[in-house]
Structure 1
Amino acid sequence: MTTDQTPAPADGYSYTLTRTLDAPVARVWQAWTAPDQYAQWAHAVPGSVELDVRPGGAWKATMQTPDGAEFPLTGSYVEVAEHSRLVLGMDIPGRPDPALMTMELTEQGPRNTVIVLTQTCDTQEERDMAEQGSGMLLDGLERFLADGAKG
């Protein structure tokens, strides 16, 4: 995994996480966009995930930390390019515009997919927390895909 942190105080604080996954791009896309699969790897409370994967479609999930704390998250899809790119908006209390995260997939052969997550946050602290959460998401996705051809 590579991580790039690019502070740009005028525009916020960005991070980029990149991993190569041992799965075809269609499998990675399905894991990210099918509610039952997403719930299995994304640390979501069972039954809390709703994904309307289309531009303007809403998503919601209640995430659970290892210590049992729960965090309800909501947002919408800004851009959807099947098997290649998702831009998700996340609702942030007190913020007029959603925080955007971009997920890009690139197929490298029949069984390898490069996934890149990028996000820009308002503060370094927000960026660090978002980057940690995104790293946990990628860890969970990697484990889910390694567990075999479920779904």
Structure 2
Amino acid sequence: MSTEQSPTAADQGFSYTLTRTLDAPASRVWAAWTTPDQYARWAYAVPGSVEMDVRPGGTWKATMRTPDGTEFPLTGSYAEVAEPRRLTIGMDVPGRPEPATMSLELTEQGPGTTVITLHQTCDTAEERDGAEQGSGMLLDGLTAFLRDGAAGA
């Protein structure tokens, strides 16, 4: 996994990029990100709380549960949907006029192998560090979900 943690001249923000190679075709990874019941099973969401309208301008919501049991609601929308290659997700942040956006790219590297790249630009180093940690946890959950064969269930 590689991580970029420096601001770029173009966005004047704080960015990170996480890349991981997954043992699954892009269509399976896409389904894990865009199907509510699958997403809930690997992304630390409360079962039954995930709703997704996966289309440009469509909305999503989920209640997430931290390892200590704390629950918090998240909402957002989809800015870009290019199945099964690219997804740009907006996340509503209290007190922020515009949603925070995260993009994910899926690139097949042969039969049954996909490279996933997550990228997000944040306003502060603290926000970036928290978002990067959360994204790393998501990738860990996704990797385990795909490895255990649960995405095909």
Please report how far the alpha carbon of residue 96 of structure 1 lies from its aligned counterpart in structure 2 after TM superposition.
0.6
> In 1, distance between residues paired with 2:13 and 2:105?
21
TM superposition score normalised by structure 2: 0.95
Residue aligning to 1:100? 101
Residue aligning to 1:22? 23
Matched residues, percent identical?
74
Q: May I ask how many residue pairs the two structures share in their alignment?
A: 151
Letter in 2 for 1:6: S
1:67-82 equivalences under 5 Å are 67-82=68-83
Letter in 1 for 2:3: T
Q: Does 1:43 align with 2:58?
A: no
> In 2, distance between residues paired with 1:132 and 1:65?
13
Residue aligning to 1:123? 124
Residue aligning to 2:2? 2
Residue aligning to 2:61? 60
Letter in 1 for 2:17: T
Q: Which runs of 5+ in 2 are unaligned?
A: none
1:111-150 equivalences under 5 Å are 111-148=112-149, 150=152
Deviations 1:62-91 (A, max 9, x none): 111100011210000000000100000000
More strand by share: 1
Secondary structure, aligned partner of 2:152: coil
Secondary structure, aligned partner of 1:3: coil
Deviations 1:40-79 (A, max 9, x none): 0000011110011000000001111100011210000000
TM superposition score normalised by structure 1: 0.97
Residue aligning to 2:89? 88
